[in-house]
Each structure stands twice: as C-alpha cells, then as structure tokens.
A and B are shown apart, each in its own frame.
Chain A
C-alpha cells in the first residue's frame, strides 16, 4: 500500500469515525427513550385493563356470594335437607330463577349437594342429575372457584363461579353460576392506546404451569396458537416494567403483564417493537444520509489532500529510485517552499553530486585502465586470498587469456612458476624482486620473467588489493642477449685462426732471423707480437665472458699453492712495472697457502689485478701485493698508490663492460671485462672480491678464497690418483703408454 492510500485511509478513518459514533449514539439514545416511553405506556394500559377486568369479576363474585348467603335460599335448603327433598325444592328453584331473571348476564344457576347431585337448577329437567366435578369442586383453601370454560352445549366460552352454601353455619351445598363473558371479552379486547399491533391477553396457568389464553387474540383466535402465548413468558414479568419478547407470530414485541387479583390469571399487553420504534425510522434514514454524504465528501477531500501531499513525495521517491539505478538525468522540477520542496532540491543536488562523483570515478578508472594498459609490463592486483582483482592488457597477452577471464581467478590458477625448470613457490605476501622465473602460458612457449611483488601498505580491508604483481617479460631481451653472446662467441672464434696465423708468422720471423734483423725492425716485430698477445688476451676474455654468460665456464679444480701463484704472477708482471717505474713488492709467506682452485683461472685473476694496478699507477708509485689468512680463508690484496676510483664507479666496477669514464681512464687500455671475469671466477670458487679506494690516493683490491679443507683433501686424493696431466693455458697433455 503506497503512501497515498495510507494517507487517504487514515483521513477517512479520522473523519468518519466520530460521525459514525455520534450518529450511532444519538440513534441508540432516541431509540432507548422511545422504548422506555412505550414500555411505561404499556404498563399503565395493563394496569387499567387489569382494574377493569378485576372490577367485572368482583361484581360477579359479589353476586354469587350474595345469593349464597340469602336467607330465603338458606332456609329453603334447610328445609329441603331436613325433609330429604320433600319440601323446599320448589322454593329453591324459585329463588334461583328469580335471580336469573333479575340478572340478565346470568346464563344459569345450579345448586348441588356436596356430591354433585343437582338439588335445584334454572335449567329444566336437571334435578337429581349428577354434574361433572368441575361444576361443583372448589380448590382447597378457596371460598370460590372462578374458571372460564367452553360450554358443552353450544361451544361458547363462559365464566363459571362455584361457591359454598352453608345452612346454620354448616357447609351444605354448592352453588354454580354460569355467566356470559361478552363484557369481559369486550374489556380484554379494548386495544385503545395499543396502536395497530397491540394486543391484550388474559391467561391462566394450566396444570403444567403453562400460560393458557382465556380470551380470543386480536390477530389469531386459533386454539393451537392461543396455547403458544406461552412464548410471551407472561408469568415471569414483575408487573412494573415492560420486557422484550418474541411473540407467537415471531415478532419482536414489548410485553407488560399484571396478575389479576380475583383469579389465578395474568393479563398482558404487548406491542410490536417495530411499531413502537417506527418514529425513529426517519431519524435513522437522516443519519444514514448524513453519514453517506459526509463519507463521500470525506473520500473526495482525503483523495485530494493525499494527492496534494503525496504527489511530490512519490515523485521524489521515483527520482531517488532512478538515481539508485544509476540514471542521474532525472530531476524533480516542482517549486515548493516547504520541507518537501527542500527535500526535492536535496534529491536534485544529490543526483548531481552523485553524477559528478560517479563520472569522476569512471574517469579515474578509465585513466587508470589506460595507464595500466599502456604499461608494457604485466600488472596484476591480487587480494588477500590471492584472487586477481585487476589485470592489464600486457598481463592478458602474457598469459594468453582474455583480460576478463583472468580477473576473479586465483593467482595460482594462472601462474605456475618455474625456476631453472623446477617448480618455484612464490610468496605473494612478501615484497621483493624475483628474477629468472619461468612461466609457460596456456598456449605458447616458455617465458623468462622478472616478478616484482609489492605489498600494499596499511590495513587493507577485504576485497582490496593487497599485492601488486609486476611481471617484466625478459624473454625477448634474453633471446637478444643470447644472440649477442652467440655472436660474440662466434666472432671471437673466427678471429682466432687468423690471429694464430699472424702470431705464428711473426714468431717465425723472430726465431729465424732475430740476429739478422736491424734493431728497429726487431723493435717493431716485438711490438707486433705484443699486440697479437693482447689481441689474444682480449679474445680469450670475450670467450670467457660468453662462457660465464652461458654457464659453461669449465674449471679444473686442483690443489693450488696461492703463494706460488702470486710469486709467478709478480715475476711475469715485474718487467712491465719496471718499464713504468713502479715498484712492485710481495713478501711471500714461508708456509704454502693451499686452496682448491683452477690454477690457470686463479693465476689470471691475480695477473689481472696486478696488471690493472700497474696500468693505473703513475711513475714512482708503489704496488704492494700481500697474502694473509684468517681462520679458514686466505686473503690476497693488491694495493696501489694509483689514481683511485670514484665512489660512484666502485659499485659498477665488477659489472660487464664497465670502464671508469673521464680522466682516469685516459691512456689506459682494457676491455672492461677483467674484473667481471675475476669476480665470476672467484664466486665459482666460493670466494669474493672487494675494493677500497679513494680518488687520488689509490685502490686496494682484495679477494678471498676458502682454505683447502679436509673434505676437499679427500676429493683431491681421488683426482691425483687419476693420470697425471700437464696443463697450461692453451694446451693440455696426459702421459699414457701407447
């Protein structure tokens, strides 16, 4: 039920209820007072009727008693009885007849003895006959019996009065007088003041205590119906008030009853309630009319009123509903200065604000989406349960899944990470960078990626991104890198054969005719040889780098005395130090310093450090090589008084192809590979290399190698048991008996 109907109903209720109550009360009050008035009138009518009937009965009884006490009757009866009927019979008949003649209402008078035998009668030929008991019996305790009965001869109702007759104060006979009852009937049937439906009923109690109508009824004289007067419950009345009953015709009636003093009778008057209250009908109709008219008026007013108040509310509600569905174009367009007007204005304002807000959010989202999709890296936002919330275009391309298909999936469903072919578990709850991960999409080939896991800070609530994953696809760059490595490797290999030829030719010249050559030619030849050696070293470095890159750098581990290797290196580089007027010092320890190492590789590391130191140290500088040991590592340091390395360059020093730019590198040669190779080789030996340097003051490069341990020694024994081999850079031979 909408608000308009509710309001209409409420107003109808408020408007109609008082009208209805007042009308009903007024009607009821008037009705009650009318009933009261009718009842009072009924009671007074009944009393009047009772007095009239009572008077009639009283006169007849007085007649009967007067006759019974007459001297002539009593003396005649005395004679009759004393002479056993021989005398006085005629005198009695004369007295009775005389009475009948004087009183026209008397039908007959009969005198019987106490046993009912007729002594004398006004009716001829009845003397000596026996009469029925009801004609002479008197109920116990009464002096006179009064009944109304139907006469057996003509079927007409008559009044029977039976009295005792005494002779010398001794009850001697019974006298029965029969009266016509026309006057009583007339009195009973006097309906004056009872209107059209009023009736008077006189009844007596029969043997069963039921009321029996004695006189004809106004509307129905049928004997059977007369008996039904019982339904009026006449004996229950209190005689002073009227009561409501249903009469034998089924009408609601008002009944007033009074006992009749001279008989065991009851007289009742009744009137139909309908007639009694007929006066209230116009009033009732008027009230109905008033209520009807006011209802219609109220309905119209209520509808108009409700419409007036609810129309704007319904419109506002409709507008709010549309806004709720996302239609912000709706505006309530009425002008009112009350609270409803304010509400409408607020809704309009709210709609505008929401529209603004939503478009701003949409704009932001579109911009975010645009930004995300323009990023070449895959960006994925994941909630705390690992469900993907956002994935950009790059992520969709990487996973070969539709962008919409990724969102909502669990991260583990989409990505199965591998590292070097082995399953790799990524902890998405920890920020970090995971390099060299491998991932194979649903369709397509293996991808090499770098995964950056970034935890979102703060107390992120449910369904809010908790982790941002950035996936950098390194497959292409790795392929490119591999191609580069392959190219470098191939180029270096291709250079080797001509280089070997050039060097071989130069060597042949120097061996064959060294003494015959002019000094200048010999000098040039020496320079050419030196350059080929450098070129060879460069090619070797390049090849070493490609091997390191591919992970194919092969080391042959053996027991190496670091002290000896340093001595060798110092000896090898001694001349070039002298050439540059740099002092190179090394005090070898007495005890050997055994490590497990690839002899050639370690010698190259030491060589490289010393050559570098010479290169960057100006004439008259010092280079100090030292070998120390701690608990289980050896530490080799090469300290120079050279130009030093700028702070910002130090961290890049051990990366591939890195060379210090600026003045420091001027005049120096190098590939930028030496330190990278050294670091890689040392790491393969479980060692490390560091640098401490201050610009203008010199540098100290220090590397460590683990001491030869017991377990290494055991491994070595097995190797030494194998065939002894000769191994130098560039060649290897073994001794076998062929």
Chain B
C-alpha cells in the first residue's frame, strides 16, 4: 500500500465523487479529482497519480477512451499507474479484450461498501 498514495478519482456524479474522496482522505490517501474526461487528462498529466478510479460514463470523453490514452500515451505520465474502472454496468462480457488488458480491475459502484475500497487498493500490488 505504500506505493499507492496519490489517487485520482474521475467521477461526474458530485455526491459519489465527494463520498469516495472524503472516505479515502480519511484513510490517509492523497486525493485529486476530475469531473469530466478532459479535466481527467489535465489532472493526470499534472499530478501523475499512483491509482486512478475512472468512471465510464463521463462528459466530453468516456472512460474507455481515457483508459486507452492514459495507459498508452506517455505524455499523461500514467502508463504505469493502476487504473480501476468505476461502473454501474453489470455485464463485462461485452467489453473488448483491450479494455480488459489495459485496466487493473473494476468496481460496480452500487455493489460495494466504502470499506471495500480499502480492500481493493490493498489487493493491487
């Protein structure tokens, strides 16, 4: 856990964004946030976070596009970062193999409790 101190939360729903940020800050993580796709790229480039919680349904650029850019474009300084997708979709079988390869996990927002976030972070080396 020592390696994953700075976390970027990309989430357009204000309440959820604040809930996750508040909870994780309370657990001694450094949190930066973005509310849409463009801002996410800017923040990532500037802050180069260790872990990104990336929502899929976002204004301007969707999560899958962001995943591809962040993972493969060095200019955003995030190719090595862990990226966990945030979603409410239940069916991941239709998602392309590239997405599966690029991401480090996914979270169904409605199905977790906040403490699960800590477990998720812990499960990522």
Contacts and interface: CB of A to CB of B under 8 A. Distances in A.
Interface stretch (B39-47, B61-69, B88-96): B88-96
Interface string B96-125: 000000001111111111111001100111
Contact of A733 (B23, B80, B104): B104
Provide the main secondary structure of the chain B interface: mixed
B84 interface: yes
Contacts of A536: 110-111
A512 interface: yes
Contacts of B106: 731-732
Contacts of B92: 554
Interface in B10-25: 13, 15-16, 19-20, 22-23
A733 B105 contact: yes
A737 B16 contact: no
A731 B108 contact: yes
A511 B23 contact: yes
Tell me which of B16, B90, B92 has the highest count of chain A C-beta atoms within 10 A of its own C-beta.
B90
B2 interface: no
B33 to A, nearest CB: 15
Given A733-B120, A737-B125, A507 B113 contact: yes
Contacts of A736: 104
Nearest to B27: A511
A497 B110 contact: yes
A728 B113 CA distance: 12
Nearest to A543: B90
A208 interface: no
A139 interface: no
A335 B108 CA distance: 101
A500 B20 CA distance: 11
Provide the main secondary structure of the chain A interface: helix
Nearest to A540: B111
B22 A508 contact: yes
A661 interface: no
B109 A500 contact: yes
A504 interface: yes
A733 B84 contact: yes
A731 B15 contact: no
Contacts of B104: 733-734, 736, 738
Given A508-B19, A543-B90, A731 B116 contact: yes
A471 B79 CA distance: 60
A5 B37 CA distance: 112
Contact of B120 (A497, A508, A554, A731): A731
B1 interface: no
Contacts of B125: 735, 737
A496 B124 CA distance: 26
A490 to B, nearest CB: 11
B67 to A, nearest CB: 13
B78 to A, nearest CB: 10
A425 B92 CA distance: 36
B23 A507 contact: yes
Tell me which of B13, B19, B81, B116 has the highest count of chain A C-beta atoms within 10 A of its own C-beta.
B19
Nearest to A494: B88
Contact of A504 (B15, B80, B105, B120): B15
A590 interface: no
A552 interface: yes
B23 to A, nearest CB: 6
A726 B112 CA distance: 14
B82 interface: yes
Interface in A682-738: 726, 728-738
B23 A508 contact: yes
B15 A505 contact: yes
Nearest to A731: B107
B110 A496 contact: yes
A379 B33 CA distance: 65
A48 interface: no
A404 interface: no
A736 B125 CA distance: 8
Contact of A497 (B22, B88, B124): B88
Contacts of B79: 738
B35 to A, nearest CB: 15
A387 B16 CA distance: 67
A737 B16 CA distance: 29
B88 A730 contact: no
Contacts of A731: 105-108, 111-112, 116, 120
Nearest to B88: A496
A736 B123 CA distance: 11
Nearest to A495: B110
Nearest to A501: B15
Contacts of B123: 726, 733, 735
A501 B13 contact: yes
Contact of A552 (B84, B93, B119): B93
Given A730-B107, A731-B107, A731-B111, A554 B19 contact: no
A554 B91 contact: yes
A552 B105 contact: no
Contact of B114 (A496, A511, A547, A734): A511
B19 A505 contact: yes
Given A733-B84, A733-B120, A501 B16 contact: yes
A503 interface: yes
B125 to A, nearest CB: 5
B26 A512 contact: yes
B46 to A, nearest CB: 20
Given A501-B13, A730-B108, A730-B116, A552 B91 contact: yes
Interface in A502-530: 503-505, 507-508, 511-512
Nearest to A512: B26
A730 B108 CA distance: 5
Nearest to B91: A552
Contacts of B116: 728, 730-731
Closest 5 CB pairs of A and B: A730-B111, A733-B105, A504-B19, A496-B110, A501-B15
Interface of B: 13, 15-16, 19-20, 22-23, 26, 79-82, 84, 88-93, 104-116, 119-120, 123-125
19 contacts: A493-B89, A496-B88, A497-B16, A497-B88, A500-B16, A504-B16, A504-B19, A504-B23, A504-B114, A507-B115, A508-B114, A511-B23, A511-B26, A728-B116, A730-B116, A731-B108, A731-B112, A736-B104, A737-B125
Given A500-B16, A507-B19, A733-B104, 12 more contacts: A497-B110, A499-B110, A501-B15, A504-B19, A507-B113, A547-B90, A726-B105, A728-B116, A730-B112, A731-B107, A732-B105, A734-B105
